[in-house]
Amino acid sequence: MTELITKEPKKNNLNPIYGNMIFLEQFVESVISYSSRYNSILSILYAPENLIGNPSKYPNYGDYPNSYTLRSYGKWWNQSEAAQPDYMPQDVDRIPSEDFVTVRFKHGVFPENVHIYETYNPGAVVRLWGHLVSNPWLLLWEGDPQVCLPVARRFSPPIRQVKELVNEIRIEFNQSTLKYYTSLDAVLLTGYQPKSLLQCKLLQKGLFDCLDGCDCDIDKSIESHPCSDGIDLFADLPFEVMVHVFQYLDLKSLCRCAQVSKRWYSITFDPTLYREISLKRYWNKVDGAVIKHFISKCKNVKKLDMSWCSIEKQITEPVFIEFLERCCPNITHLSLGHCFGHTSSLGYITKYGDLTDLRLRNCKCKTEEYKALSNLTKLTALDLYCSSISDEYLINILKSNRDLKHLNLDLCELLERLDEVTEIVSIYNPNLITWSSWKTYSITSEGVKFLAQCSSLRELDLGWCLLLNDPGNCLERIATGCKDLRRLILSGWRGVNDQLLLPLIRQCEQIRELDLLGMKNISVDICERILSSFTKLKLLDISFCDLIKPEQVVLWQQHYPNVTIQQAQ
């Protein structure tokens, strides 16, 4: 149960009016959304839902299954060949957010503090947002990712005062500085609940000094209009030169430039400034009005990133389709991570035959809506992380896109015939460079053997795929067929022993990252051979390998200082 504590009014020197309100402490009542999870859909272990209620492990420190754990850590995932490049580098936030989770509390309050209980590898929280359901999001706090000691902590950053009630908190993460996976145990929101509607309205009318909760003004600046001309130090520069200079500006700066003068206003309408657009940074501001504004400026968008923009709630389907039709006739890169929900828009996307890179991470489309994607024929990268695609539709897509190089099927738990999928890949997509099907369970050792026919494979993620199945000789086949492997993730392969790893050591000299987490039967000897044979190795994960003692790992870490050796217990 969510703990709710009502206390006597607290004395507040900054805002005396709080003294007449009810002070509440609330733990999470429900989890609304998230971009990353470590659990499979049928398991509560490491799931976001573990944030609900009181902390269960704090102040203890460790890898606890009844906490919420994020999927990635460090820079390893961003360095993958399949990682999405920045479409608009000048619009990357100074503190980039890699993942988020949104939680809801029972009562709306004027927030005083947000306490985050971090029980494993703390330091990834970089931004806190708050709002009352259906109201605009307010930025409460932001800060750089931190390097912390390996101890549990209750992280309580100094949040901004806001004059709005808050009952939802969104936590954003940047895991780039983490040495290993991070886990959260609980979130506590403290604040003041008005005793009456009148009291609430008085606060919202600004009867005390209160800081605005958000400094992102893209929504205001897009409504700009030409100002009267003043002294323009750029007046003698040709129009083309000005356009070139403006290409280095982010979207917010372009909106502000539109307010400088009539000439600058006209320059900001040049379509070449909007060939690559990234709206992820402005997820909380993007709505139908913003999209209509871009319709007036954009003519030939090549790359579009609308990740996190929740378009099913903020943008009507007709507006989104109009934007695609009028502004993106020749689009090649489209990223809609954790935002897609319109019923027929996937069909419109497939009209754009030049698409080569399509990212649909965490999309909420119905299974049958993926059928339309088989009309695409030029895809080289397809990211379906945590989607509801079925085997039939995926197979049709693979057959239609013979130049596919990167495929992500992580947590696609409706796929029940992965062996058949891998056979199709070996026939129609033999030049595949990266394959990832982390925690997509229907593959067997026979399916893995089909992947061995993709001789160009450099990254192979089969983590948690063969929990109970006998791996047989599939690793030998992989080693023989994919000698250029650089990244190999085999976490959770319980049946692997030293003998089965030997072919990799003999033939895959290029391996830089190797994940053997949970292999309970591998010995110190095979790990020693791995470390001495893979001269380019940068990461070795041998967590929960029962035969490897911590003191041995310490010696390896001293002897191989260029290799990050992970060992969680």
**Phi, then psi, of 248 in degrees rounded to 5:** -90, 0
**Phi, then psi, of 310 in degrees rounded to 5:** 50, 55
Read off the pLDDT of residues 302-313 as tens digits, 9 standing for 90 and up: 999 999 987 656
Give 364's pLDDT tier (boundaries 50, 70, 90).
Answer: confident
The 10 Å Cβ neighbour count of residue 6 is 10
Which pLDDT score is estimated for 227?
Answer: 47
Which pLDDT score is estimated for 212?
Answer: 37
Residue 112 to residue 227: CA distance in whole angstroms: 40
Residue 205 has pLDDT above 80, yes or no: no
Question: How is residue 359 annotated by DSSP?
Answer: E
Comparing 333-347, 355-369, 454-468, 491-505, which segment has the lowest mean pLDDT?
A: 333-347
111 SS3 class: strand
Which pLDDT score is estimated for 569?
Answer: 74
The 10 Å Cβ neighbour count of residue 504 is 22
Read off the pLDDT of residues 448-499 as tens digits, 9 standing for 90 and up: 999 999 999 999 999 999 876 789 999 999 999 999 999 999 999 999 999 9
Sequence length of the chain is 569
Q: Domains in the chain, start-ordered, CATH in brackets?
A: 4-204 (2.60.120.260), 216-274 (1.20.1280), 275-365 (no CATH), 443-569 (3.80.10.10)
Residue 224 has pLDDT above 50, yes or no: no
Which pLDDT score is estimated for 214?
Answer: 36
Residue 51 to residue 187: CA distance in whole angstroms: 7
The residues that bridge with 30 in the sheet, in sequence order, are: 104
Specify the higher pLDDT residue, 308 or 4: 308
The residues that bridge with 56 in the sheet, in sequence order, are: none
Mean pLDDT (the chain, rounded): 89
Helix-strand-coil split of the chain, %, nearest 5: 25, 20, 55
**Phi, then psi, of 68 in degrees rounded to 5:** -100, 120
**Residues 354 and 348: beta-carbon distance below 8 Å:** no
Q: What mean pLDDT is predicted for residues 232-259? A: 89
Read off the pLDDT of residues 370-400 as tens digits, 9 standing for 90 and up: 999 999 999 999 999 999 999 999 999 999 9
Verify cis geometry, omega within 30 degrees of 0, for the bond prior to 89. no
Comparing 216-230, 289-303, 482-496, which segment has the lowest mean pLDDT?
A: 216-230
SS3 labels along 397-423: HHHHCCCCCEEECCCCCCCCCHHHHHH
Read off the pLDDT of residues 397-453 as tens digits, 9 standing for 90 and up: 999 999 999 999 999 999 999 999 999 999 999 999 999 999 999 999 999 999 999
Residue 533 to residue 540: CA distance in whole angstroms: 13
Residue 154 has pLDDT above 90, yes or no: yes
Which pLDDT score is estimated for 365?
Answer: 84
Read off the pLDDT of residues 527-564 as tens digits, 9 standing for 90 and up: 999 999 999 999 999 999 999 999 999 999 999 999 99
Looking up tokens 């799931």 gives 47
Comparing 12-16, 143-147, 562-566, which segment has the lowest mean pLDDT?
A: 12-16
Which pLDDT score is estimated for 363?
Answer: 85
Residue 555 to residue 490: CA distance in whole angstroms: 24
Read off the pLDDT of residues 63-114 as tens digits, 9 standing for 90 and up: 999 999 999 999 999 999 999 999 999 999 999 999 999 999 999 999 999 9
Comparing 41-45, 125-129, 231-235, 270-274, which segment has the lowest mean pLDDT?
A: 231-235
Give 124's pLDDT tier (boundaries 50, 70, 90).
Answer: very high
Residue 27 to residue 320: CA distance in whole angstroms: 37
Q: What is the residue type of 352?
A: Y
Give 18's pLDDT tier (boundaries 50, 70, 90).
Answer: low
Residue 316 has pLDDT above 90, yes or no: no
Comparing 201-215, 390-404, 498-512, which segment has the lowest mean pLDDT?
A: 201-215
Which pLDDT score is estimated for 312?
Answer: 57
The greatest distance separating any two alpha carbons of the chain, rounded to the nearest whole angstrom, comes to 78
Residue 79 to residue 564: CA distance in whole angstroms: 15
Measured CA angle at 127 (ends 126, 131), to 5 deg:
165
